[in-house]
């Protein structure tokens, strides 16, 4: 049975944009598709030896070129001492890519602790000084809060080594805040700083931007991605991962992630960086298993990037340079074929590519690509179809950044209320615009169990603040796939968010029955419209004419008050504890509660940094206990540039 979504929006109103009217325009375009083909041991093939098909239809080969790559290492050169990078006096000459192996060293400083940064630099310097070949061209990119090209493709090992040695130690939390204004404010809405913290999407979006930038080069590219795993927030956007890998495949680019933590191993009770664990977990193996599962979870995205783009991930190895050598080894002699697709439809659909060579010749190439999608200015009926089509695209649109939070609260023994909160940075929205939201919730068999469709209009400027929109679903316990699409109607920008949702059966759990943990900083007055009255009765964050606004990104300022909310479904005693790493820094007095559980804590007493909020619940009547945790970050005051 399909269940309707309930809407509760925190937004302003405006007039819908008008459709532009103008003169008819005529245009034509062509779609040049590049396919890089590896034919093991054959470097004498000709264009006539190949046949190319797209969706079963033969295509005329218009571009043909063979890339002959030399794998002989160059003589070793000394690594220069650490020094700031000298200012460029003149732009370097434009590189020639014929018969060149294109390697990109990509340093994700947003996830690299200082020790891992040093290991990554040493591995890169070792490769550049002793293992680079005559065919290699290397570029260096970095990411903290945005993608930065430090040096373009070059064979100048001296210049590359100078760049690598110029990187100073960067604190990973600082990278999310160095490029923005951190001045404290009493406003609930933070600027776009919050979207750069705890956000895997920003890392993946930067990789997608890199793929699109390098897509202008038809040759094969290998990106060696130095990162200390990719930590997750619990609600991950699978649409952004799909969009990144699709862009990389289209650009003939493969990712070679390198886990800069090296070999991950620890004693059963933990190493010297953490306090000794309490309880029986160290004896039963549970503590060790949880640590290992956390490490494997942080490597999952790295493995997916490599597997979906034809690269390889280097995990659990102390020789980080091995990841670069693997990319170097994989990019061997290959052929470049290009054809102008006879299918000119810009429908965003997948086009399957098949290449035939000489008999019994094994060829390696990409299996296909997603066509471009052009979103034209449409009337109301066409816009509705566009939303439905965009929601179903295999190559999701992720141009509009957004953070999504899904919670669950029990309403009856068989039903749970699932609030959905969407946050969009104000810098991504025009001053006056209209937003459309569409979404679906599907069960494991792919059946739609609930849908969402709503429209909001902004009547005022956001002033750099974020837009918060929320809705809700009524669902029974189970596993679901939630996919949400938002469209800004002035420019037609769209964003897609897809994730897995698990609504637990709290009655069947061995732990005390506790809802999701909500972190917030402000309430606002709320008066329900006729459409929202049903939602008001279900929504636990609405009470006494006030609505608690979930933080979504879990990023706060020291001038704010942390508000923690949860529901318990048995008489319980509860406390709130804060942890900095593994060290407990605060614990509240115990509270007795029958259902709603609320804590408040001024954040001025906390130093800027990352923390964990943990609610400890003990239900003596049913002899159960539970721990609900959420990570959050406290930002400090602005630093003054000198």
591-619: per-residue pLDDT in tens?
999 899 999 999 998 999 889 999 999 99
Q: Which of 133, 131, 107, 132 is nearest to 121 (CA)?
A: 107
| CA–CA separation, 600 and 311 (whole Å) | 48
Question: Quick one: how far is CA 484 from the chain centroid?
Answer: 15
Output the six-digit token pair for 357.
Answer: 């060579």
Task: Give one word for 310, left, alpha or beta, with left for phi > 0 and alpha for psi -120 to 50.
Answer: left
pLDDT digits (tens, 9 = 90+) for 218-251: 999 999 999 988 766 556 678 888 889 999 999 9
Helix or strand holding residue 538 (H, E): helix 533-538
Which of 255-264, 319-328, 418-427, 456-465 has the lowest average pLDDT? 456-465
Q: Are strands 253-259 and 542-543 parallel, antiparallel or unpaired?
A: unpaired
Task: Kindly state the average pLDDT of the residues 493-513.
Answer: 92
In this prediction the pTM is 0.76
- Min mean pLDDT across 355-369, 538-552, 570-584 is at 538-552
Fold match, 1-19+377-504 / 509-642: yes
1-19+377-504 maps to which CATH number?
Answer: 2.60.40.1470
Query: Which residue shows structure tokens 């930038």?
Result: 213
pLDDT number for residue 252: 92
Structure confidence at residue 198 (pLDDT): 62
| Confidence bin at 325 (pLDDT 50/70/90) | very high
Q: Choose among 113, 221, 124, 220: nearest CA to 163.
A: 124
Q: DSSP letter string over 347-385?
A: B--EEEEEEE-STT--EE---EEEPPB------HHHHHH
In terms of DSSP bridges, do strands 416-424 and 403-406 run parallel, antiparallel, or are they unpaired?
antiparallel
CA distance 170 to 97: 33
Point out the least confidently predicted range of 32-46, 109-123, 162-176, 576-590.
Answer: 162-176
Q: Which of the residue ranges 40-49, 229-238, 409-418 would you say has the lowest mean pLDDT?
A: 229-238
Query: Which two three-digit tokens encode residue 33?
Result: 């598709």
Lowest mean pLDDT among 28-32, 102-106, 253-257: 28-32
Distance of alpha carbon 43 from alpha carbon 63, whole angstroms:
17
Quickly tell me which residue has 């999310």 as its tokens: 176
Paired tokens of 184: 């404290």
DSSP states along 307-350: HHHT---B-S-S-THHHHHHHHHHS-SEEEEEEE-S----B--E
The CATH number for 99-178+197-271+281-332, chosen from 3.40.50.1100, 3.10.20.90, 3.30.310.50, 3.40.50.410, is 3.40.50.410
Give the per-residue pLDDT at 77.
Answer: 86
Q: What's the rounded Cα separation, in Å, for the pair 273 and 582?
A: 9
Smallest CA-to-CA distance from 309 within 394, 387, 266, 251 is with 251
Summarize the confidence of residues 212-221 as an average pLDDT.
Answer: 93
Counting Cα atoms < 13 Å in the Cβ hemisphere of 25 gives 5
Give strand pairing partners of 629.
614
| Tokens read off for 18 | 């008008």
Q: Which of 44-58, 142-156, 191-205, 559-573 shows the lowest mean pLDDT across its residues?
A: 191-205
Confidence bin at 210 (pLDDT 50/70/90): very high
pLDDT band at 146 (very low <50, low <70, confident <90, very high): confident
Point out which residues pair with 503 in neighbouring strands: 478
Q: What average pLDDT does range 202-207 have in this prediction?
A: 88
Percentage of the chain exceeding pLDDT 90: 49
Interval 478-503 mean pLDDT: 91
Asked whether 154 and 92 are in contact (CB, 8 A), the reply is: yes
Distance of CA 632 to the CA centre of its chain: 17
Cβ of 96: how many Cβ atoms within 10 Å?
10
Cα 569 to chain centroid, rounded: 34
Q: In what order do the strands lie in the sheet containing 57-59? A: 57-59, 51-54, 350-356, 368-370
Would you state the structure tokens that stand for residue 411, as one six-digit string?
């309403």
What angle in degrees, to the nearest 10, is found between the helix axes of 238-250 and 286-309? 40
* Rounded mean pLDDT, 302-309: 91
Q: In the chain, what are the domain boundaries?
A: 1-19+377-504, 32-64+337-370, 99-178+197-271+281-332, 509-642
> For the chain, how many residues are written?
642
pLDDT value at residue 20: 43
| pLDDT (average), residues 476-495 | 91
Which CATH fold would you assign to the domain 509-642? Immunoglobulin-like (2.60.40)
Q: Which of 473, 562, 566, 478 is nearest to 523 (CA)?
A: 562
Q: What is the DSSP letter of 500?
A: E
In the prediction, which pLDDT does 259 show? 92
Q: Which residue did the predictor score with more confidence, 385 or 483?
A: 483
| Better pLDDT: 639 or 418 | 418
The first and second tokens of residue 429, run together, are 């929205």
Token pair recorded at residue 464: 């750099």
Alpha helices in 396-476 (DSSP H): none
Within 10 angstroms of residue 617's Cβ, the number of other Cβ atoms is 22
Using CA atoms, how far apart are residues 23 and 15, in angstroms rounded to an integer? 25
- Do the Cβ atoms of 110 and 144 come closer than 8 Å? yes
What pLDDT, on the 0 to 100 scale, is given for residue 16?
Answer: 33
pLDDT interval class at 287 (50, 70, 90):
low
pLDDT band of residue 326 (cuts 50, 70, 90) is very high
Lowest mean pLDDT among 228-232, 302-306, 414-418: 228-232
Range from 46-60, 192-206, 222-236 carrying the lowest mean pLDDT: 192-206
More confident residue, 142 or 433: 142
Residue 68 region by backbone torsions, left for phi larger than 0, else alpha for psi between -120 and 50, else beta: beta
* Mean of pLDDT over the chain: 82
Predicted confidence at residue 181, as pLDDT, reads 35
Strands 57-59 and 51-54: antiparallel
Instruction: Determine the Cα–Cα distance for residues 435 and 21; give it in Å rounded to an integer.
Output: 21
Q: Nearest CA to 397 among 405, 406, 387?
A: 387
The pLDDT value given to residue 525: 85
Closest CA to 519 of 402, 397, 611: 611
The pLDDT score that the predictor gives to residue 188 is 35
Distance CA 31, CA 373 (A): 12
C-beta separation of 224 from 327 below 8 A = yes
Q: 616-629, pLDDT tens digit by residue?
A: 999 998 889 999 99
């Amino acid at each position: 049975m399909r269940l309707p979504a309930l809407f509760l929006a925190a937004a302003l109103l405006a007039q819908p944009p008008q459709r532009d009217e103008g003169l008819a325009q005529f245009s034509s375009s062509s779609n040049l598709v590049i396919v890089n083909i590896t034919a093991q041991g054959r470097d004498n093939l000709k264009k006539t030896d190949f046949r190319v098909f797209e969706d079963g239809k033969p295509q005329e080969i218009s571009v043909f070129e063979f890339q002959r790559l030399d794998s002989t290492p160059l003589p070793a050169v000394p690594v220069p001492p650490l020094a700031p990078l000298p200012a460029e006096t003149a732009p370097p000459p434009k590189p020639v890519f014929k018969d060149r192996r294109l390697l990109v060293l990509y340093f994700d400083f947003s996830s690299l602790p200082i020790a891992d940064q040093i290991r990554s630099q040493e591995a890169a310097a070792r490769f550049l000084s002793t293992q680079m070949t005559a065919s290699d061209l290397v570029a260096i990119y970095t990411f903290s809060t945005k993608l930065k090209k430090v040096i373009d493709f070059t064979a100048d090992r001296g210049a590359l080594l100078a760049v690598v040695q110029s990187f100073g130690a960067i604190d990973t939390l600082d990278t999310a805040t160095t490029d923005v204004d951190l001045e404290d404010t009493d406003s609930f809405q933070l600027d776009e700083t919050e979207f750069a913290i705890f956000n895997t999407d920003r890392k993946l979006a930067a990789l997608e931007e890199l793929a699109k930038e390098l897509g202008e080069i038809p040759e094969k590219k290998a990106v060696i991605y130095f990162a200390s795993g990719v930590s997750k927030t619990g609600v991950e956007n699978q649409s952004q991962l799909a969009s990144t890998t699709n862009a990389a495949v289209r650009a003939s680019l493969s990712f070679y992630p390198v886990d800069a933590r090296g070999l991950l191993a620890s004693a059963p009770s933990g190493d010297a960086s953490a306090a000794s664990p309490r309880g029986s977990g160290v004896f039963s193996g549970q503590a060790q298993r949880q640590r290992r599962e956390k490490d494997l979870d942080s490597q999952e995205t790295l493995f997916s990037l490599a597997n979906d783009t034809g690269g390889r991930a280097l995990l659990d190895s102390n020789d980080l340079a091995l990841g670069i050598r693997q990319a170097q080894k994989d990019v061997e002699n290959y052929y470049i074929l290009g054809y102008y697709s006879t299918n000119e439809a810009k429908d965003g659909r997948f086009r399957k590519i098949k290449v035939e060579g000489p008999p019994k010749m094994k060829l390696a190439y990409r299996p296909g690509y997603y066509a471009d999608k052009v979103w034209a200015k449409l009337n109301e009926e066409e816009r509705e179809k566009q939303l439905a089509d965009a929601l179903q695209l295999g190559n999701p649109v992720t141009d509009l950044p957004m953070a999504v939070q899904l919670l669950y609260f029990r309403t009856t023994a068989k039903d749970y209320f699932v609030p959905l909160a969407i946050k969009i940075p104000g810098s991504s929205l025009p001053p006056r615009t209209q937003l459309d939201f569409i979404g679906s919730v599907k069960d494991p068999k792919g059946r739609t169990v609930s849908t969402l469709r709503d429209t909001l209009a902004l009547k005022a400027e956001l002033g750099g603040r974020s837009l918060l929109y929320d809705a809700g679903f009524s669902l029974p316990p189970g596993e679901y796939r939630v996919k949400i699409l938002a469209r800004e109607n002035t420019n037609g920008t769209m964003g897609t968010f897809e994730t897995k949702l698990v609504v637990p059966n709290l009655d069947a759990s061995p732990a005390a029955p506790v809802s999701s943990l909500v972190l917030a900083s402000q309430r606002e007055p709320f008066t329900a419209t006729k459409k929202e009255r049903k939602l008001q009765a279900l929504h636990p964050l609405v009470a006494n004419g006030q609505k608690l606004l979930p933080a979504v990104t879990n990023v706060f300022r020291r001038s704010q008050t942390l508000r923690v909310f949860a529901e318990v479904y048995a008489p319980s005693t509860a406390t709130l504890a804060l942890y900095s790493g593994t060290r407990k820094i605060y614990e509240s007095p115990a509270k007795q509660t029958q259902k709603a559980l609320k804590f408040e804590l001024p954040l001025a007493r906390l130093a800027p940094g990352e923390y964990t909020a943990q609610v400890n619940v003990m239900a003596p009547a049913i002899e159960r206990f539970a721990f609900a945790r959420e990570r959050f970050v406290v930002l400090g005051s602005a630093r003054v540039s000198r």
